[in-house]
Amino acid sequence: MASRDGDRAVALSRQLARAHEELRRQIREIRTGLGHRRSGDDVLLTHCLAFCNALSSHHEGEDNGMFSQLLRERPDLAATVANLVEDYGLIASILSRVRELADGAAEPRGSTLEAIGRELDGLAAIMESHFRYEERTITEALDGRTPDTGWPDMVFGFGMR
C-alpha cells in the first residue's frame, strides 16, 4: 500500500497533466474561434488575453515553486529544468507578441486576428513539445514523493475555468 505522501505525489503528477490538458483545451478553443471569426471578436481577444495570463501564471508557479522544490530533492534534474525554463523564454516572447497585437487593436480587424492566430499556432506547437517533455521527465520525479511545500497552489491555481 502506498504511503499518504506517495499518494499525494501521484495526485500532483495527475494534477500537472490535467493542468496541461486544460491549457491545451483553452488554446484549441481560442484558435478555433479565430478561425470562425464572429462579431464578438473583442470577447475572443479577451479570452485570448486571459489564456495568456493563465499560461504565464502556470509557468511562474512552476519556476518559483515546483522546480525549486524538485531541484532541492533531485539535483540530477538540473538539466531538465534548465531545458524547461529555456522553453519559457520562447513562450514568453510569443505571449508578449500576442498581447501587443491584442492591445494594439483598437477595433479587432481580420489582419490582427490572423496575426494572433499565427502566433497561437506557434505557441501551441511549443506548448505541446514542452508539456510532453515535462510530463515525461517531471512526472516521474513528482511520483517519487517530492514533498508538497505549498508550491502546487502556484502551479495549479492559475484560474482554470
- Whole-structure pTM value: 0.81
Ranges in the chain, pLDDT < 70? 1-10, 37-41, 105-110, 144-148, 154, 158-161
The reported pLDDT for the residue numbered 27 is 93
The reported pLDDT for the residue numbered 108 is 55
The reported pLDDT for the residue numbered 110 is 64
The reported pLDDT for the residue numbered 147 is 67
The reported pLDDT for the residue numbered 105 is 65
N residues, the chain: 161
The reported pLDDT for the residue numbered 112 is 81
The reported pLDDT for the residue numbered 142 is 80
Backbone angles phi, psi at 120, to 5 degrees: -70, -30
All domains of the chain in start order, with CATH? 4-144 (1.20.120)
